[in-house]
Structure 1
Amino acid sequence: MSNSTHSTALQGRTALVTGATSGIGRAVAQSLARQGAEVVLHGRDRARGQALVKEIEAEGGSTRFVAADLADADDTLRLASVAGAVDILVSNAGLYEFAPTAATDAAAFDRHIAVNTRAPFLLVGALAPGMAGRGHGSIVIIGSSAARQPAPIGAAYGASKAAVEILTRYWATEFGPAGVRVNTVSPGPVHTEGTQAALGEHIAVLDTTNARGRAGEPGEIAEIVSFLVGPASSYVNGAVLFADGGERSALPA
């Protein structure tokens, strides 16, 4: 459902999108490119990254791909350096391993924190000061409804996502006076390659979890990101925007 029309709303802007080779990140990257932004695509799979570069360029967009492992702090900082002076950061890359607490060892917990919390922290620390120096910038973190809706499994994932929600508010306070807005989009279940792989034949359960009666599509989240990085949201800063289809009533229908 991503917008297939082209515009010049983001002409002259450079955007870094992490986790851009699939799912929500891919839809976001395509949407920003269609609006005229030069998009730096991040991912781990070079083949998928180069395929997306060709696809965006075929539509007239400007883009390049940078591979990096966000579980590695030094590689994360290298990504920021190679991306250069970006005006927009969309921190989308994420790791989720839905296991109960007793089955989550220290290494698994650390992986969640490294990718879902530390990586955006390091990217914001490396890139936001440059935005502030130029007097403008927009940062959007892709969070998760798991940060506010507990479940019997996935505590490490939920904790890592709750952390970036509070960081969003800190960063909005820290960089907002210099013209840099920081917001989080908190999606509920979304149909992506990752959820398909995780749920397999049980994928249909995603469509039963909210008041909307269906899971979201990556393009729907991309539209929200486009709003948050564009001029229409100039007064939105430090917000956590829920995009989860609405909480389902506990009362019988």
Structure 2
Amino acid sequence: MDLQLSGRVAVVTGASKGIGLAVTRTLLEEGVRVVATSRRSSPALEALARADLLHVPADLMDPDAPGMVVARAAEAFGGLDILVNNAGGPPPGVTLPRGSFLDATDAEWRAMFEFNLFSAVRAVRAALPLMLERGGGAIVNVSSGNARQPSPINVDYGAAKAGMNNLTKVLSEEFGPKGVRVNTVSPGPVRTAWWTDEGGVADMIAAQAGTDRDSVMDRVAPEMMNLTTGRLADPQEVADVVALLVSPRSANTTGAEFVVDSGFLKAV
């Protein structure tokens, strides 16, 4: 399927690994010029190097960083058509999952919201004028199943992502009539560094369950979370949904949430 994206300009946050890397790769393959941002690059991102890819190192916890990244996109490629707010998860110095709601301090709550919600707010604020100049655009906010499935071990993270879901709806209502579509993609558990890195969630669960990280990801975690498909999602499976949503093929889809969660959410 031709997604009709060739020549468009995108900003992808959290682009050095996981879902963001998969989104960056997919958009490049569709002919999009991509500004990829992350605190630092990675060998996998560097392997994608070409004229249509610009990596802008930035710490999105800095209030000025999202606007700077968007400005670099306009400077390098002449405008902006697509924004994928993918950066998220535990900010530096914060570890998830927690043992309880009581384990999260005020400082950790603030950091979680800065990274998972306010960085997206600032990126959207910077991107909208550029999109409106071009007659429209597409924004995808990457949320989480925890936005709708409360969890005491990820309470501040889930609250921030619930705010992102609400933000998506508000933006779609205000700017949809002006040609800017805004949608949410909500992954469940995905085989990203949060799970796979040494000391990550898989290792934490493995230590508690008396097993190894591969067994956790292949069997223990899917059973624990009652995943219908029996497995964690691959980042590419999320990226494919994002690519379709930013495409003109989805021209009449806005204010929607698309779940890629292995059947994690059970409620209607």
Which of 178, 181, 206 pairs up with 2:221? 206
1:102 corresponds in structure 2 to 102
SS of residue paired to 2:5:
coil
The code of the aligned residue for 2:97 comes to F
1:198/1:77 Cα in 2 relative to 1: closer, same or farther (>3 Å)? same
Q: Does 2:258 align with 1:241?
A: yes
Shift of the 195–235 alpha-carbon distance from structure 1 to 2, 3 Å rule, reads same
C-alpha spacing 1:134/1:154, structure 2 compared with 1 (3 Å): same
Q: Supply the RMSD in Å over aligned alpha carbons.
A: 2.0
State the identity as a percent. 38
**Which stretch has the larger CA shift, 192-201 or 85-94?**
192-201
Count of aligned pairs between the two proteins: 240
Q: Check if 1:20 corresponds to 2:15.
A: yes
Which digits, 9 at most, give the CA deviation of each residue in 1:130-170, with x for residues without a partner? 21221120000110000111223110000000000000000
Q: Which residue of 2 is the match for residue 225 of structure 1?
A: 242
**Unaligned regions of 5+ residues in structure 2, if any?**
91-95, 204-212
- Does the CA contact (< 8 Å) of 1:211 and 1:248 recur in 2? no
Given the two structures, how large is their TM-score scaled by the length of structure 2?
0.84
Residue 248 of structure 1 and its aligned partner are, at CA, apart by 7.1
SS in 1 for 2:117: helix
Residue aligned with 2:47, SS: helix
SS of 1:72's partner is coil
Name the aligned partner's letter for residue 236 of structure 1: T
Residues of 2 paired with 1:35 and 1:233: CA distance? Answer: 15
The alignment's TM-score, normalised by the length of structure 1, stands at 0.89
1: CA distance, partners of 2:33 / 2:265: 39
CA shift for structure 1 position 53: 5.1
**Change over 3 Å in CA distance of 1:169–1:104 after alignment to 2:** same
Q: For residues 9-65 of structure 1, what are the alpha-carbon distances to aligned partners after superposition, in whole Å with 9 as ceiling and x for unaligned?
A: 31110111000000000000000000000011101114x1xx4454223xx662010
* Partner Cα distance (2:130, 2:147) in 1: 29
**2:266, 2:171 → 1: CA distance?**
34
- Judged with a 3 Å threshold, the aligned counterparts in structure 2 of structure 1 residues 8 and 61 are, in CA distance, closer, same or farther, namely farther
Per-residue deviation, 1:247: 4.1
Q: Distance in 1 between matches of 2:106 and 2:181?
A: 34
Tell me, in whole angstroms, the C-alpha distance in 2 between the residues paired with 1:227 and 1:234. 10
Whole-Å separation in 1 of the counterparts to 2:256 and 2:243: 15
